[in-house]
Amino acid sequence: MARDEEEPVKQLLYYENAIIRDPLCKEAWFNKAELYMNLERFEEAIECYEKATDIDPNYYEAWLGEGHAFSALEEPEEALDYYNEALFLNPEAFMELIDKSIAENPGDPGPLVSKSQVLYMLDRYEEAIEVLNKALELDPEAADVWINRGLMLLFLERQTEALESTEKGLELDPENVFALHNRGLILIKLERFEEALESFNKEIQLGLENENSWSEKGNALVGLKEYEKALQAFNRALKFDGKCKWAWIGKGKVFTALQKDKKALEAYGRAIASDPEYAESWEQKAKVLEKLGRLEEARKCIEKYRELNT
């Protein structure tokens, strides 16, 4: 065996002996994982990283390494889960890593997009937009960048700009269901309910059929005052997730509009049971209670709403 081939074998034996001596040595599992990464044995690396994070769930480097391993296996959704965990544990270190990648790859928009995603997770939307603008200077035809930029603008309540950016993304990628969903959300904000409904219908036709798509379709129908159709949409959403708070809130709004206050209260109660920390459910319930003259109960709901909104 050549000397270069012998070295990884010796290292592997060293780490395996260290693990035999102390199976709870997280550094030994991590180093073994890193060796497997260098050897491009990514599945084995993942197993070792998982051992390290089992021993220490706060082991930032191991979560990050596992993300790299899934990325190398071209499994971006899995990779993102592990990157998110690493980001949660050490956002500053994660950002430094991305900034280093940007400096080393000045002509590549990829690291800039990664940085924008981190800024998004940290609720730093203005900075995320600045980074995405730089990415678009490098690649103006990148549909995902336009779409992500639109989402950041939506969070900042800059709906007109958000719509322009999202529609540019859809020009480049007409069947992007994520963009269609976001376009619908923006159009609801702009009270352009018919166009919003078209977006959600197309999203569903293209196969993204879940509690979110049906709930938002229901919201567009509420805006159009097509209450029976809206109710059907919310019920479809609840078939995907019976605890979907947005669907229950939507049903509550339909029942309120139809003067069915008892059913509205039941719907808002279900929304609160699904997520007691979601402020809008308490606000909507308070409105119905006040209408019914149940002022003390309404006051308590308003207090809870204000508590959650502070």
Asked if 224 and 200 touch (Cβ cutoff 8 Å), the reply is no
Cα–Cα separations (whole angstroms), residue 50 to 24, 26, 41, 190: 12, 10, 15, 46
> In sequence order, which residues have a C-beta less than 8 Å from that of residue 136 and are 6 or more positions away?
109, 142, 145, 146, 149
Residues 223, 244, single domain; the answer is: no
Confidence of residue 6 (pLDDT cuts 50, 70, 90): low
Tell me what pLDDT residue 288 has.
97
**Is the predicted pLDDT of residue 2 greater than 50, yes or no?**
no
Instruction: Report if residue 1 sits inside a domain.
Output: no
Residues 259, 146, single domain; the answer is: no
Residues 175, 309, single domain; the answer is: no
Tell me what pLDDT residue 5 has.
52
Confidence of residue 286 (pLDDT cuts 50, 70, 90): very high
Tell me what pLDDT residue 93 has.
87
DSSP secondary structure letter of residue 21: H
Q: How many CA atoms lie within 13 A of 124 on its CB side?
A: 13
**Is the predicted pLDDT of residue 308 greater than 90, yes or no?**
yes
Residues 246, 272, single domain; the answer is: yes
Tell me what pLDDT residue 120 has.
87
One-letter amino acid for residue 285 of the chain = K
> In sequence order, which residues have a C-beta less than 8 Å from that of residue 86 and are 6 or more positions away?
60, 63, 64, 67, 94
- Prediction pTM value: 0.79
Tell me what pLDDT residue 127 has.
95
Decide which of 194, 210, 236 is a domain's last residue: 236
Residues 211, 298, single domain; the answer is: no
Q: Mean pLDDT over residues 36-49, rounded?
A: 94
CA 167 to chain centre: 20
pLDDT tens digits, 46-105: 999 999 999 999 999 999 999 889 988 888 778 888 988 998 898 888 888 889 889 988
pLDDT tens digits, 129-171: 999 999 999 999 999 999 999 999 999 999 999 999 999 999 9
Residues 103, 116, single domain; the answer is: yes
Q: Mean pLDDT over residues 162-184, rounded?
A: 97
Asked if 135 and 116 touch (Cβ cutoff 8 Å), the reply is yes
Q: Please provide the average confidence, as pLDDT, over all residues in the chain.
A: 93
Instruction: Report if residue 295 sits inside a domain.
Output: yes
Confidence of residue 1 (pLDDT cuts 50, 70, 90): very low
Which of these, 41, 99, 39, 37, lies nearest to 62 by C-alpha position? 37
Helical pair 245-257 and 261-274, crossing angle rounded to 10 deg: 170
Which of these, 185, 255, 260, lies nearest to 215 by C-alpha position? 185
